[in-house]
């Protein structure tokens, strides 16, 4: 049996009941979603207003007005286009004009991301009030839609005569993509089709305007997401048109003549301004991944979120259309990211200036961007790669990004958020308004005018179970990619099968799965089911060697054996599974000291400590200031090749503890304020030494070098995702070793 | 006898005859000055045009026109003001309008800096053609001057009705300062007063407009230099008014209400635009050092060139007026720079974004700015501190800046220049258009539209002898601050005295001085002269302990002895000096491995190698790429506390060699092209090891850490000022040690 392609299971098929992830989902449900709803209604004091619902209401009112006029005099006076800029704010913030569009051109997506998370939440946590709020919002959104299906309030309110004339920067197709994602999630979560139909109507309109036929627009989204959203719409509705449109967007992208260049020229001509050629590096329009055909792309370039969304969509299309050139491209792009452009935290996008991938091996710890959304996009890409080709590396990276760079995006009280997630900060850069670090956050913010990250994180966390499993296209294999407690119920090999998971991750490597055959996961079927349960063997547990840590125990000892096969890092357990059969996982979870490739100049002489999927960091709070003087003792990090090992002299202590979040300032509205909350975690104590900085301020700036005096110390490392929850302070992931 | 204040000697009093400095001066004279003249006449193909002489010609023509009109109809139609921006370029660069102003607002200074260097050059190297060229240029410049003495072509051509309304950013007083400096140099070099009188007329006009009296402008220069120029004008002419004006500019600066803030408000009102409060950090107008009274300033902040010029002028005024508060301020500002903000190369201004000082101990090697001009300003400041208070540290820093950051500003063929002088470069930052490094040059450029650095370097190099000596206010002491071959002739203690110097610096520590009494330095006086010869004891030679390396030998053994006294790092040799007496210097010049203060995070675990006044660096050309993998062997750097010492295991080899400059590209116009030239130098061979990077590109991005395998290597270090003379390549000053 070879490996099989697989596909998503759908949000209702799996539920979470897990000490770690239930807490995260609870936080999103109880703190983030209500906050987000307030934010998109401009009701968070001190936070940048979204104007999202304002815009939908304004568009709905305009539609009603125009429709009333049209029924009176036969035509409505729709506005003619006024360019109101990329981010238009009211002159008097306390009195926005109720008829005008405000905020970023893509502000509609604030709603779509929220309703997506709401859909996932309602799937497992019915909440009448939340559902009523969502239904009302959906009515407003649907009322903003035009007769022809178009639905982007920026152009509806500013003038439809210029819609689809700035695909590069005006995000209409990005808005469509998010609308589709939100609509499907809400449909999956509630069964309601109102928003789904609106999304289909928008997609139908777009499908009638774009395409290879003469007279149509031969363009594609400036900010990708529509590609994977359309694939999902195809998989939800079965309407082939949506897959064709996704495929068109991907394969048209970057072909000559470059659409964005033509568009730029035409817009300049229309506006009577001088045409300014694009100057992206290494090629014009690389920022948009529109510099060459996607099938020819081999280097991950440009805006890291867009890139991740594009690659995810391209992997989808490759899987569904069998396009070998696209398949080759996404595999090469994956390698480029993972081998040359990935932070150890699962962050991507080293270049903060343009939120973009930097060049190979350029991974600055202090100025690197690592946008939360870019890691969300990487998780999307990784799951699509798993669907194409179940290979443990994809699951490893997905898990890494999820537990570290993504979760770092949210404070432990769920009330403030990181846009960028640096691996090293020094508060003096902020105190001194250092322009080189203007993109590097030191404490989380409450909300953002450009609010992509918090809701993106929310929708991913609320649907994390959807990333834990896929089902093989043979209909007889279920893949477990992430070890998350809960259950997944599927029709497998001709009948219902439920896998009940318990997991101790991420704090220890124990997990178990119980097989239930029969409807509702309740068991009861007495006949065995011939099928395959495939489990990822995490790299952190030793990769394929970890197969030995997995034991099957049968409810009936007489059954034909379950065969074990390992392929590409997955353990395939095939045979006649019977109700009550179980699988025990006892993965080794050693602390690993990881060094970067020697070509990463920023990490020379340094290590990062990792255990299981969790990356650790040192905070000033635990280790004092001037972390550049703290050196892990190399002798304590000696390893058996896989993890730090006592037999080899390793001396890192793993200590379960209760992390107490909560920052000093009493003002709950202050940037960086975190409520007092506690979370069980694990921390590390590592033998270390410090270079003395006593009385450094009275010593000369340069002195003759001499061997450094080692002051003995113990480095105390906490999980990276938990940093900056105890007030502003210094932090480092990669620490000097010596 | 206590220490005495001292003052400059005047450019004609000293001449250079020195293997090292004669070559540098020759380069400036034969390569830079002619090139500079072409540049300010817009005759360098491929280089940014200066428009400097164009503007003077346009202003002169306008003056003639207006004067002709005025004699016809009683009034000339002077233009009313049009703001043409900070840097105005012609729409069609091949056809600039002959009547319009072009270039930066301070473009007049291109001439002034050139004529200053020309003046110094003519003082010792008569050159009829050069002098004729300069005289003609001076005629044009004088013809541009207005009747009332005002001379800034930006306002003369754009409209005088708004002159002196933007002191903060429009550089009129900066232009005056440079004009004065240039005029005095030309006067000193040639004895001609034409330009000096023009400068005096401009200064007289300014003195009539500014000052404490009601109805006058209570402002001061946005870009300092006028302060020290006016002091020099006072010292040249004896006219007290100029010292008073300098003193006013300094003491008025930063007083409440802030003049620049008032000016900003008034200009906004006049222009009908919204007033934008200044947002400098840590205080508004700190960029201009105008945030608080100069006498209260204790931290070096803002634009590093302006800061250096201000502090130099303040030290001048403190010396001449006995202002104790200013004296305290300049001493504190000096300490702040030297103890917290100085690169080991003598560079200052760590913040490239604003060409400014950064906060304490923030000294990034790769993004640091270290503008050539800022080190020139530091040399000015250091010499003024020496005049105030002869203390070896001032001479040490002056020498350090001069030999390293300043000389690095010019290629070894004298044909290309650095604006910024980083301590670490990686060419991939340029190849990949990395925005974080957009201010970091990797190869020198031919010229700059904003051409401050090349001519600033030229005027300093051509007058370097002026920095080597000062004469005590007691009239009986001559101070030698720098060991440069040549001679200095002064009236000392009632008669002419010449000191003939020979020096092996910077490549070895030998030097000797011979005393000549009598006119013309020819000797001949038979009577002894009771006076003091004071010599700096360089820190690199052991500081005051180096007094033992200095031997006096007398021409007549019977004379009363010369007494030796050491004070603040100077060796005072006093007694009855006789013609033919000599002093031999045999300074020790060990290689020193220098570490930065532990609070400098960027230099943690690194050392820089220094020998005498020369800082060394490793170039890729000699050491291969990926210099972050090269580690100096700590055992080879062991020291006796002062220098690397064989007896302590030190193993650094000092190797005299001939440096062959010359870059590969055949296009002499290409950026970074250097002609083939050779220069005697010294290089260092240091035992080292490299972390292997073999096949790194095929290895994973992260791997379990293990002790690094040391590949034995020898680091080959060349003088920092000579880097980037053999094509684009990687470079580091601070190297890892381990």
- What is the reported pLDDT for A2? 47
Please give the Cα distance from B509 to B540 (Å, whole number). Answer: 10
Would the CB atoms of B597 and A701 count as touching at under 8 Å? yes
pLDDT tens, A365-389?
999 999 999 999 999 999 999 999 9
* Chain B residues closer than 8 Å to A626 by CB: 598-599, 601
Specify the CATH number for B474-586; select among 2.60.420, 3.40.50, 3.40.1000, 2.20.25.
Answer: 2.60.420
Q: At what angle do helices A453-462 and A19-27 cross, to 10 degrees?
A: 140
Residue burial A142-181, b: 16+ Cβ < 10 Å; e: rest: bebbbeebbbbbbbbbbbbebbbbbbbebbbbbbbbbbbb
Q: Given this model, what pLDDT does residue B1 score?
A: 40
pLDDT at A557: 76
> In angstroms, rounded to a whole number, what is the distance separating the alpha carbons of residues B226 and B177?
4
B273/B267 Cα distance (integer angstroms): 8
Residue B436 has its nearest CB partner, among A436, A629, A700, at: A436
pLDDT above 90: percentage of residues in chain A = 83
Token match 């004065």: residue?
A: B180
Q: Which residue of B has its CA nearest to A339?
A: B701
What angle separates helix B33-40 from helix B108-124, to the nearest 10 degrees? 150
Instruction: Please list the residues that pair with B257 across neighbouring strands.
Output: none
Average pLDDT per consecutive 10 residues, chain B (738 residues; last block may be shorter): 76 95 96 91 84 97 92 79 88 90 94 96 96 98 98 97 96 98 97 98 98 97 98 97 98 97 96 93 94 98 98 97 97 98 98 94 96 97 96 98 97 92 95 89 78 88 96 95 97 93 97 88 74 97 96 86 96 95 96 96 97 98 97 89 74 95 74 90 97 94 91 97 96 96
Helix/strand/coil (H, E, C) string of A39-70? HHCCCCCCCCCCCHHHHHHHHHHHHHHHHHHH
The tokens for A727 are 């007030």
Cβ contact A641–B344 (<8 Å): no
For the four alpha carbons of A283, A284, A287 and A291, in that order, the dihedral sign comes to negative
Q: Do B704 and A593 touch (CB under 8 A)?
A: yes
Retrieve residue A18's tokens: 């897990």
Query: Any catalytic annotation for residue B224?
Result: no
Beta bridge partners of B731: B425, B619
- For residue A591, list its beta bridge partners: A611
Report the pLDDT value the prediction gives residue B593, as an integer from 0 to 100.
95
- Would an 8 Å CB–CB cutoff place A344 in contact with chain B? yes
Which CATH code for domain A466-586?
2.60.420
State the angle between helix axes of B128-144 and B52-73 in degrees (0 to 180), rounded to the nearest 10.
50
CB–CB of B457/B25 below 8 Å? no
Q: Decide if A719 contacts A682 (C-beta within 8 A).
A: yes
User: Inter-chain contact A597–B637, Cβ cutoff 8 Å?
Assistant: no
Residue of A nearest to B595 (CA): A705
Of B599, B628, B737, the CB nearest to A601: B628
Q: How far apart, in whole angstroms, are the C-alpha atoms of residue A39 and residue B574? A: 81
Which residues numbered 422-461 in A keep a CB inside 8 Å of some CB on B? Answer: 426, 428, 432-436
The number of angstroms, rounded, from the C-alpha of B66 to the middle of its chain's C-alpha atoms is: 40
Could you say which residues from 633 to 672 on chain B have a Cβ atom under 8 Å away from some Cβ of chain A? 634, 637-639, 641-643
Contact B601 A626 (CB under 8 A): yes
- Whether A351 sits inside 8 A of B706 (CB atoms) is no
Cβ contact, residue pair B598, A692, below 8 Å:
yes
Q: Which residue of B has its CA nearest to A606?
A: B705
SS3 B79: coil
Confidence check: pLDDT of A196 > 60: yes
Residue B592: list chain A partners with CB under 8 A: 704
ipTM, 2 decimals?
A: 0.95
Dihedral sign, CA of B327, B328, B329, B331?
Answer: positive
Nearest Cα of chain A lies from the Cα of B662 at a distance, in angstroms, of 29
Catalytic positions of A, written as ranges: 355, 452
A691 touches chain B (CB under 8 A): yes
Nearest Cα residue in chain B from A428: B359
Does the pLDDT of residue A1 top 50, yes or no?
no
CB atoms within 10 A of CB B204: 16
Mean pLDDT of A215-231: 98
Domain locations along chain B: 474-586, 591-737
| Minimum-distance CB partner of B704 among A592, A691, A704 | A592
Chain A residues closer than 8 Å to B302 by CB? none
B605 interfacial to chain A (CB closer than 8 Å): yes
Catalytic one of B131, B224, B355, B399 = B355
Q: Find chain B residues with C-beta within 8 A of A340's C-beta.
A: 701
CB contact under 8 A, A600 and B701: yes
Contacts of residue A428 in chain B, CB cutoff 8 Å? 359, 362
Weakest-pLDDT range from A316-325, A400-409, B50-59, B635-644: B635-644
Considering CB atoms only, which of B353, B607, B696 is closest to A705?
Answer: B607
Q: How close A434 comes to chain B (CA, Å)?
A: 8
Structure token pair of residue A670: 């202050």
Find chain B residues with C-beta within 8 A of A597's C-beta. Answer: 696, 699-703
**Among the ranges given (A120-129, A665-674, B547-556), the one the predictor scored with the smallest mean pLDDT:** A665-674
pLDDT value at position B521? 58
Lowest mean pLDDT among A87-91, A174-178, B251-255, B268-272: A87-91
Chosen for mutation from B598, B625, B649, B703 (greatest number of chain A CBs closer than 10 Å) is: B598
Distance between CA atoms of B59 and B56, rounded to whole angstroms? 5
Residue B559: closest CA among B575, B571, B582, B580: B575
Distance from CA of A637 to the nearest CA of B (A): 8
Q: What share of chain A is helix, strand, coil (3-state, %, to 5)?
A: 40, 20, 40
A593 part of contact set with chain B, CB < 8 Å: yes
> From the candidates A426, A640, A699, A704, which should be mutated to test the interface with B, based on the most B CB atoms within 10 A?
A704
- B597 with A629: Cβ contact below 8 A: no
Q: CA-to-CA distance for A718 and A57, rounded, in angstroms?
A: 46
Residues A38-63 have a mean pLDDT of 91
- Phi and psi at residue A705, to the nearest 5°: -70, 145
B592 with A628: Cβ contact below 8 A: no
Pairing relation of β-strands A735-737 and A630-632? Answer: parallel
């Amino acid at each position: 049996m070879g490996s099989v392609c697989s596909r998503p299971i759908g949000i209702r098929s799996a539920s979470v009941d897990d000490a770690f992830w239930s807490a995260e989902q609870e936080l999103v449900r109880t703190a983030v979603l209500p906050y987000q709803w307030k934010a998109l209604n401009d009701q968070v004091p001190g936070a940048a207003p979204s104007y999202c619902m304002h815009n939908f209401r304004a568009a709905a009112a305009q539609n009603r007005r125009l429709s009333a006029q049209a029924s009176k005099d036969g035509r409505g006076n729709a506005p003619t286009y006024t360019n109101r800029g990329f981010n238009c704010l009211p002159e008097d913030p306390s009195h926005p004009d109720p008829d005008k569009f405000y905020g970023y051109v893509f502000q509609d997506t604030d709603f779509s991301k929220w309703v997506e998370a709401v859909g996932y939440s309602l799937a497992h946590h019915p909440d009448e009030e939340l559902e009523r709020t969502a239904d009302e919002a959906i009515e407003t959104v649907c009322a903003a839609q035009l007769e022809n299906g178009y639905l982007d309030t920026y152009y509806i309110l500013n003038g439809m005569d210029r819609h689809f004339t700035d695909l590069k920067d005006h995000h209409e197709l990005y808005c469509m993509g998010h609308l589709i994602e939100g609509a499907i999630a809400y449909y999956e979560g509630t069964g309601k089709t109102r928003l789904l139909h609106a999304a289909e109507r928008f997609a139908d309109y777009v499908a009638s305007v774009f395409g290879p036929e003469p007279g149509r627009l031969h363009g594609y989204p400036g900010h990708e997401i529509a590609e994977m959203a359309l694939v999902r719409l195809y998989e939800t509705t079965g309407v082939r048109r949506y897959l064709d449109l996704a495929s068109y967007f991907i394969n048209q992208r970057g072909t000559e003549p470059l659409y964005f260049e033509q568009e730029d020229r035409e817009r300049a001509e229309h506006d009577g301004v001088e045409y300014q050629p694009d100057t992206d590096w290494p090629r014009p329009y690389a920022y948009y991944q529109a510099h060459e055909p996607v099938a020819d792309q081999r280097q991950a370039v440009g805006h890291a979120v867009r890139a991740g969304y594009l690659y995810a969509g391209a992997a989808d299309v490759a899987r569904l259309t069998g396009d070998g050139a696209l398949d080759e491209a996404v595999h090469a792009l994956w390698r480029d990211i993972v081998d040359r452009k990935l932070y150890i935290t699962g962050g991507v996008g080293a270049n903060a200036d343009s939120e973009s991938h930097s060049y190979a091996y350029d991974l600055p710890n202090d100025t690197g961007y690592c946008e939360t959304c870019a890691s969300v996009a990487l998780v999307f890409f990784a799951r699509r790669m798993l669907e194409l080709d179940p290979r443990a590396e994809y699951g490893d990276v997905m898990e890494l990004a999820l537990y570290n760079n993504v979760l770092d995006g949210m404070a432990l009280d769920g009330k403030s958020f990181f846009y960028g997630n640096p691996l090293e900060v020094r508060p003096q850069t902020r105190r001194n308004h250092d322009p080189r670090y203007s993109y590097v956050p030191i404490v989380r913010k409450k909300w953002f005018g450009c609010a992509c990250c918090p809701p993106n994180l929310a929708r991913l966390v609320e649907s994390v179970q959807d990333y834990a499993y896929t089902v093989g296209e043979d209909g007889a294999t279920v893949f477990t990619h992430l070890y998350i407690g809960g259950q997944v119920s599927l029709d497998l090999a001709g009948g219902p099968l439920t896998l009940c998971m318990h997991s101790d991750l991420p704090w220890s490597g124990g997990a178990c799965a119980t097989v239930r055959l029969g409807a509702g996961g309740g068991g009861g079927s007495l006949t065995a089911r011939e099928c395959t349960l495939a489990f990822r063997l995490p790299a952190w547990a030793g990769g394929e060697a970890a197969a030995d840590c997995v034991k099957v125990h049968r409810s009936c000892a007489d059954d034909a054996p379950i065969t074990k096969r390992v392929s590409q890092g997955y353990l395939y357990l095939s045979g006649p599974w019977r109700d009550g059969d179980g699988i025990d996982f006892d993965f080794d979870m050693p602390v690993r000291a990881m060094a970067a490739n020697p070509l990463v100049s920023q990490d020379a002489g340094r290590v990062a400590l990792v255990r299981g999927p969790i990356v650790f960091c040192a905070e000033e709070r635990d280790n004092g200031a001037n972390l550049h003087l703290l050196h892990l003792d190399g002798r304590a990090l000696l390893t058996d090749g896989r993890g730090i090992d006592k037999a080899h002299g390793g001396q890192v202590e793993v200590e379960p503890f209760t992390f107490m979040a909560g920052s000093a300032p009493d003002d709950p509205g202050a940037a960086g304020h975190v409520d007092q909350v506690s979370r069980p975690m694990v921390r590390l104590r590592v033998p270390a030494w410090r270079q003395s900085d006593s009385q450094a301020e009275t010593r000369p700036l340069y002195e003759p070098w001499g061997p450094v005096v080692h002051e003995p110390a113990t480095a105390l490392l906490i999980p990276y995702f938990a940093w900056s929850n105890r007030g502003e302070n210094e932090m480092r992931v990669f620490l000097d070793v010596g």
